[in-house]
Chains A and B, each alone.
Chain A
Amino acid sequence: MGDEPLVRWHWIGTHLGYLRDLLLDHAVISLLPVLFGLLMALPLGLLCVRFPRLYQPLAAVFNVIYALPALAVFVVLIPYTGLATQATVMTPLTCYALAVLLPTTVDGLRSVPEPVRQAATALGYGPWRRLAAVELPTAVPYLVAGLRVAAVSSISLASVGALVGRGGLGYLFMDGFQRTFPTPIVAGIVLVTALALVTDAVLLLARRLLAPWARRESVVGR
């Protein structure tokens, strides 16, 4: 690498617009899948709680999906969704998000203490109404905890998409590597991490607004 410095500030200064575009693309391809995952996890989770037999097989399937290597999945999808398309990167990321969010949704819906559930029934809630009015709000802290995990790993994984031609900031890593030029790599790492941390902070804030009644900072993992 010779005398090349870790960061050339001049390069960053002249590429601000470029970095911004990559950042926006990265946010879209990594966070939209989390949103899609959430939109799928909610109805699926409700179904799993209402019909518990569904959950075991579904959980097993998503457990396996979560273990699939992102790069391998991107590649396998190329013949179906095309090289360098958003679909190739976003489809697996949606599956990963769903794999994280389904168990947290179900855990959250099930976290309602038995006396509370019974009280709700005794006060005259039907099963579906109770799910919407009691179980779903109680699940919010769990959902946010799941969203934090899903969003952060999605943001990190999306950069691998660069290897199949659509990776947002991940492109900086390939570019820097091919030109033996560390500045874009460092910029990429910093921006990816920053995006993840900002997203995380936004989700924490959302939790505080949506569930002020939840006592502890971390509900999951206790």
Chain B
Amino acid sequence: MGAAGIGGGTVNLYSWLSQFFGDPDRRHGPDSIVHRVGEHLLFSGEALGWALLLAVPLGLLLGYTGKAAGLVTALSGAARALPTLGLVTLAVLLAGVGDTAVLVPLVALAAPVLLVAACEGVRSTDPDLRDAARGIGLTHRQVLWQVCIPWALPALLAGLRTAAVQVIATATVASYVGLGGLGSYVVGGLATRDFAQTIGGALLVVLLAVATQLLFALLIRYALPAGLRRARD
């Protein structure tokens, strides 16, 4: 390791990166990039799944009835203030290293975003449209499913994008308590002063987050019904 020191004057990012990516451990075994990316995506996806399951139905319902919308916003604001690193460390001390320890903080991160997106998405449905739907004889359940949810879809997808990016970025922190994923490179490198590993890991997380961002941008552009896309312009 050539430029081992920290802040040691000249810094050669390129040599660190080539050292990191050139290491055979990155290609095979438990510390390989593929394995780490897999771990990272797995618990990010798991956390998102739980958050979706918990927050979206509740958000849609609260948004449709229009009740407690102010409360939802206030609570989610407060939830955003919760420090993930604190939650992760506390969860590990209370529940031990494992799925729960990483899932609780990440779900706590994603759920409020999705809750607000679902709630506000449904609530923002054009009131005339809801009126008209009721007027031609749709039941509340039908109005929710056929009018409000399609209307809320762009907001929901945007919320899902924000949540996904935040979860993937924050999941790095989970490695601090030994939970694997791309954060392992970062945290492991920091602990052993192996900067090639730290910076390589950081770069991979950045790439993964940016890729997620792009994926959702495409999804929002092409997966929405044409009428909705135009209605938003």
A touching B, CB within 8 angstroms: yes
Stretch of B49-57, B134-142, B170-178, B224-232 at the chain-chain interface: B170-178
* Complex partner residue of B6 from A67, A78, A180, CB under 8 angstroms: A78
Q: Mark A166-190, 1 if CB is under 8 A from B, else 0.
A: 0101101110110010100110110
Contact present for B7 and A185 (CB under 8 Å): no
User: CB of A69 within 8 A of chain B?
Assistant: yes
Q: How far is the CA of A163 from the CA of B86 in the complex (A)?
A: 12
The residues of A with any CB-CB pair to B shorter than 8 Å are 1, 6, 63-64, 66-73, 75-76, 78-80, 82-83, 148-149, 152-153, 155-156, 159-160, 162-164, 167, 169-170, 172-174, 176-177, 180, 182, 185-186, 188-189, 192-193, 195-197, 200, 217-218, 221-222
Contacts of A78 in B (CB 8 A): 6-7, 195
State the Cβ distance, B182 to closest chain A Cβ, in Å: 9
Known: A182-B93, A185-B90. A69 touches B206 (CB 8 A): yes
Contact present for A63 and B85 (CB under 8 Å): no
Contact present for A76 and B202 (CB under 8 Å): yes
Contacts of A196 in B (CB 8 A): 78, 80-81
Contact present for A68 and B93 (CB under 8 Å): no
Contact present for A177 and B93 (CB under 8 Å): yes
User: CB of B132 within 8 A of chain A?
Assistant: no
State the Cβ distance, A185 to closest chain B Cβ, in Å: 5
Known: A69-B168, A75-B190, A193-B78. A174 touches B202 (CB 8 A): no
Q: How far is the CA of A19 from the CA of B16 in the complex (A)?
A: 38
Contacts of A193 in B (CB 8 A): 78, 81-83
Q: How far is the CA of A73 from the CA of B170 in the complex (A)?
A: 12
* Complex partner residue of A64 from B168, B173, B213, CB under 8 angstroms: B213
Q: Can you add 19 more A-B contacts, CB < 8 Å, to A71-B183, A75-B198?
A: A1-B93, A69-B202, A69-B209, A72-B172, A75-B189, A75-B199, A78-B7, A152-B77, A153-B80, A156-B82, A160-B83, A160-B85, A173-B83, A173-B85, A176-B89, A177-B92, A185-B89, A192-B81, A222-B124
Q: How far is the CA of A1 from the CA of B96 in the complex (A)?
A: 9
The residues of B with any CB-CB pair to A shorter than 8 Å are 6-7, 11, 13, 70, 73, 77-78, 80-90, 92-94, 120, 124, 165, 168-170, 172-173, 176-177, 183, 186-187, 189-190, 195, 198-199, 201-203, 205-206, 209-210, 212-213
Contact present for A162 and B85 (CB under 8 Å): yes
Contact present for B172 and A189 (CB under 8 Å): no
Contacts of B85 in A (CB 8 A): 159-160, 162-163, 167, 170, 173
* Complex partner residue of A67 from B81, B86, B165, CB under 8 angstroms: B165
* Complex partner residue of B78 from A83, A180, A197, CB under 8 angstroms: A197
Q: How far is the CA of A15 from the CA of B110 in the complex (A)?
A: 33
Contact present for B202 and A72 (CB under 8 Å): yes
* Complex partner residue of B84 from A64, A75, A160, A200, CB under 8 angstroms: A160
Contacts of B206 in A (CB 8 A): 68-69, 72-73
Output the residue of B82, B169, B195, B205 with the most chain A CB within 10 A.
B169
